[in-house]
């Protein structure tokens, strides 16, 4: 079963099930309880957005989805799952995709090694393709840059000197580059010019920035009874995202409140939330999201390929923009 986001796109939905099968086939761990836990993650109803975009951009370019593109989509999703498992250890998250996180069911150390195993598995999946040396270099570079982005976020935790440009650099590495790799891998053709292939990369990069910024808004705007987690979870974890960074420009004294680390109470968070509202931090982030959405549309308009599938990307982006409303 795939996420409801793909139900309107049966070709992608069907191929995502093949992607899942490839992931499951590649994973072979002797400790069967750990194998079963990873399989549980794969079967859980995650969005599979990166893999889906990889397949959709293959349709844009070629009008079909080859076995190579399926393996690349599986590699990207496996890499993404590895980073999620590592993130949950860092954030002490009890759930992932509505199932118990592996560090809860087992231990932090087992979770870290399981994530490491999946990183290697992603490399094995890429190696099964017939792509040229240039595409392999692109995958290696993107993987290194994404992990560097994760390190950057960790070292910036509770950083009082965090600035908006630093934050954009951080989410570019942590989130946007994997989206960029997804669209690039799907669209890539060795016989196409480097300039044309890179157009798909830059579309994906903007999609990733757009996606992360909408996630920032969800953290501020979601009802805790509906989302299942406290409002301002990022601030509680020392992650200063777009709404608070915009607000600090108007209310610098907010920094004293958000720097309390683990001692922030629900009442403290509600006060911070009201100040972010008053400072216009949420509205400023919404405007930035809208600018990225416009950029995506402009770049898609210049991307050579089959119009019907480009329109499907636009529909998916429009649907994702509703997540934060």
User: Is residue 258, in this structure, part of any structural domain at all?
Assistant: yes
> Which residues, other chains included, contact 243 with Cβ-Cβ below 8 Å and sequence gap of 6+?
216, 217, 220, 276, 281, 282, 284, 285
CATH number reported for the structural domain that contains residue 235 in this entry: 1.10.600.10
Which neighbouring-strand residues pair with 95? 100
Question: Total structural domains in the chain?
Answer: 2
User: Is residue 155, in this structure, part of any structural domain at all?
Assistant: no
User: Is residue 220, in this structure, part of any structural domain at all?
Assistant: yes
**Single residue among 74, 108, 130 that ends a domain in this structure:** 130
- Note whether 120 and 3 are same-domain residues: yes
Question: H/E element holding 286?
Answer: helix 281-301
User: Is residue 139, in this structure, part of any structural domain at all?
Assistant: no
Give the whole-angstrom CA distance, residue 3 versus residue 51. Answer: 12
What domain range is 178 assigned to?
Answer: 167-302+312-324
Which neighbouring-strand residues pair with 96? 99
- Note whether 8 and 80 are same-domain residues: yes
Residues 22, 25, 29, 30: what is their CA dihedral angle, to the nearest 10 degrees?
180
Which neighbouring-strand residues pair with 99? 96
pLDDT score of 135: 61
User: Is residue 146, in this structure, part of any structural domain at all?
Assistant: no
- Note whether 82 and 1 are same-domain residues: yes
pLDDT per residue as tens, the chain (325 positions)? 567 899 999 999 999 999 999 999 999 999 999 999 999 999 988 899 999 999 999 999 999 999 999 999 999 999 999 999 998 998 888 888 888 999 999 999 999 999 999 999 999 999 899 876 566 667 778 888 888 888 888 888 888 888 999 999 999 998 999 999 999 999 998 777 888 889 999 999 999 999 999 999 988 876 544 444 557 888 888 889 999 999 999 998 888 888 876 678 888 888 899 999 999 999 999 999 999 999 999 999 999 999 999 999 999 999 998 875 5
User: Is residue 272, in this structure, part of any structural domain at all?
Assistant: yes
User: Is residue 160, in this structure, part of any structural domain at all?
Assistant: no
């Amino acid at each position: 079963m795939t996420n409801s986001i793909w139900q309107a796109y049966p070709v992608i939905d069907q191929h995502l099930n093949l992607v899942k099968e490839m992931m499951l086939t590649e994973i072979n761990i002797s400790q069967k309880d750990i194998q079963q836990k990873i399989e549980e993650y794969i079967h859980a109803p995650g969005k599979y957005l990166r893999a889906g975009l990889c397949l959709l951009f293959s349709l844009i370019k070629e009008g079909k989805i080859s076995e190579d593109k399926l393996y690349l989509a599986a590699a990207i999703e496996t890499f993404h799952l590895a980073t999620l498992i590592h993130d949950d250890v860092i954030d002490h998250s009890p759930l992932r995709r509505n199932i118990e996180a592996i560090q809860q069911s087992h231990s932090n150390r087992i979770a870290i090694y399981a994530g490491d195993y999946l990183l290697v598995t992603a490399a094995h999946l890429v190696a099964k393709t017939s792509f040229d040396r240039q595409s392999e270099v692109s995958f290696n570079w993107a993987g290194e840059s994404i992990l560097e982005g994760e390190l950057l976020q960790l070292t910036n935790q509770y950083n009082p000197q965090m600035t908006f440009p630093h934050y954009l650099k951080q989410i570019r590495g942590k989130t946007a580059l994997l989206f960029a790799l997804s669209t690039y891998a799907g669209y890539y053709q060795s016989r196409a010019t480097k300039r044309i292939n890179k157009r798909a990369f830059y579309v994906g990069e903007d999609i990733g920035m757009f996606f992360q910024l909408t996630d920032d808004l969800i953290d501020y705007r979601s009802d805790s009874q509906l989302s299942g987690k406290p409002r301002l979870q990022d601030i509680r974890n020392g992650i200063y995202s777009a709404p608070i960074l915009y607000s600090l420009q108007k209310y610098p004294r907010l920094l004293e409140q958000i720097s309390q680390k683990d001692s922030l109470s629900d009442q403290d968070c509600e006060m911070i939330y009201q100040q972010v509202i008053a400072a216009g931090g949420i509205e400023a982030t919404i405007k930035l999201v809208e600018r990225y959405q416009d950029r995506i549309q402009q770049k898609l308009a210049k991307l050579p390929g089959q119009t019907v599938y480009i329109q499907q990307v636009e529909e998916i982006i429009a649907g994702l923009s509703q997540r934060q409303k």
